[in-house]
Amino acid sequence: MAEGILVVLDQENGRVRRVAYEMLSRAQEIAAGTVTALTFGPGAETLAETLGRYGADQVVALTGDAFTRYSSDGWAEAVRQVVEVIDPVALFFPATAWGKDLSPRVAGLLEAGLATDCTEIHPSEGGRLEAVRPVYAGKAFQRVRIDTPRQLFSLRPNIQPVIEHGRPGQLRPVTVSVSPDQFQAVVTAVENNAGGTVELTEADIIVSGGRGIKAPENFKILEGLAEVLGAALGSSRPVADEGWVPHSYHIGQTGKVVSPTVYFAVGISGAIQHLAGISGSKYIVAINSDPDAPIFKAANYGIVGDLFQVVPHLTEEIRRLKE
Ligand code: FAD
């Protein structure tokens, strides 16, 4: 009978995102069988020890020509072949852009159910798993059980705690038969708009600007605050649509879903479509000149005031405290 959990994760030159450790930690806590990490590309084979420490009993590293550049259809087929060998009862994917692209294709190939963007995952009856995921733009939570033999889940980053299990993982050789010549789509280049700053979906602190900043050059006020806090920068949709910031900053229902410890909403009114992307934040701090702005209903801390006065003061005060 199938058991165990296959955790599918992306890596670059032997480095993984924090969400990889979060998924492995949770998998190790709840798996009835072996936890296998599956990863791809140059450097993947160096990860066995690290991934083992966070919960991988074994690591499958797919390397070679087919895995130097991401291909949705090609890599999904590779995952399907690994599933045939490992025979897991569940697969975990990160709910990142990469995982959101790959997981539905794997679900299609396996004819399996997929619960996306889960914030909780628990053991359930009969060795099955049950997940919790936000619905209706974060206004409600849904409990999901999947009836197909394989159960697929994508897990929202920054939610599960990272636990060190302290045992080394082992490389498990698995051969798959996929050829780059047959791939229908391949990613040929990746441009990093964020210029080396912290990735939004994994950031612990986010400073986010809305239309209240009034002009693109004013975004530097927020950059100053982000810098002293070591925070990532985000924005509401209109600010990205206007071209004041790159589209990669856009947070909300149609943008990125974030779950930082602290989210600063600066000059953001708090439209439901924006709140949909930030409901996983532990603390929301709103800075807005309108005391009736809806963001104050969602915020844990609110500052009613002109952002052009409040933000520089806050930045200076934090800088002073850090010295
Ligand atoms: P506004 O609503 O214009 O708010 C600006 C705020 O700044 C106001 O509250 C104002 O009081 C405050 N302000 C002004 N001056 C100052 C000052 N000097 N100091 C302090 N505060 C000041 N939006 C998203 O963000 N993300 C999405 O993913 C998204 N998806 C959408 C999908 C659909 C289908 C639709 C229809 C809309 C979507 N929107 C989304 C747009 C959303 O409805 C709102 O229009 C948008 O979030 C508003 O952006 P904002 O808060 O920056 O601007």
211-247: per-residue pLDDT in tens? 999 999 999 999 999 999 999 999 999 999 999 999 9
Pick the residue whose CA is nearest to atom 33 on ligand 1. 273
Return d(Cα 208, Cα 264) in angstroms, integer.
6
Ligand 1 atom with the shortest distance to the CA of 294 = 9
User: What interface predicted TM-score (ipTM) does this complex get?
Assistant: 0.99
pLDDT band at 128 (very low <50, low <70, confident <90, very high): very high
pLDDT for residue 168: 81
pLDDT band of residue 2 (cuts 50, 70, 90) is low
Q: Is there an atom of ligand 1 within 6 Å of 89 CB?
A: no
Top mean pLDDT of 5-9, 41-45, 131-135 is at 5-9
Q: Find the 228 Cα to ligand 1 centroid distance in Å.
A: 25
At 282 the pLDDT is 94
Answer yes or no: is pLDDT of 1 > 60.
no
- Judged against a pLDDT cut of 90, whether residue 3 lies above it is answered with no
235 is in an annotated binding site: no
Provide the 3-class DSSP secondary structure of residue 118.
strand
The phi, psi pair for 64, rounded to 5°, reads 110, 180
Q: Which atom of ligand 1 is nearest to the CA of 306?
A: 19
Q: Which ligand 1 atom is at minimum distance from the Cα of 269?
A: 9
Q: How far apart are CA 303 and CA 67, in angstroms?
A: 49
Q: Is 299 in the pocket of ligand 1 (CB under 6 A)?
A: no
Compute the distance between CA of residue 37 and CA of residue 21 in angstroms, rounded to an integer. 10
Residues 262-309: tens digit of each pLDDT:
999 999 999 999 999 998 899 999 999 999 999 999 999 999 999 999
12 confidence band (pLDDT: 50, 70, 90): confident
How many A from CA of 286 to the centre of ligand 1?
A: 13
Res. 113: pLDDT tops 70: yes
Ligand 1 pocket test target in 200, 236, 303 with most atoms within 8 Å of CB:
236
- pLDDT score, position 198: 67
- Res 119 pLDDT > 80: yes
Position of tokens 């030159």?
A: 13
Average pLDDT taken over every residue of the chain: 93
CA–CA separation, 14 and 274 (whole Å): 35
pLDDT (0 to 100) of residue 268:
98
* pLDDT at 318 > cutoff 80: yes
**Per-residue three-class SS string for 138-179:** CCEEEEEECCCCCEEEEECCCCCCCCCCCCCCEECCCCCCCC
Higher-scoring residue by pLDDT: 57, 194: 57
**DSSP reduced 3-state for 53:** helix
Is the pLDDT confidence value at 195 over 80? no
Task: Write down the pLDDT at residue 165.
Answer: 81
pLDDT of the residue at 194: 52
**CA 222 to CA 199: how far, in whole Å?**
16
Tell me what the mean pLDDT of segment 28-52 comes to. 94
Q: Which of 34-48, 180-194, 284-298 has the lowest mean pLDDT?
A: 180-194
pLDDT at 106 over 60: yes
- 200: CA distance to ligand 1 center in Å? 19
pLDDT at 322: 87
* Length of the chain, in residues: 323
Closest CA to 66 of 227, 207, 172, 176: 176
Q: Is the pLDDT of residue 35 over 70?
A: yes
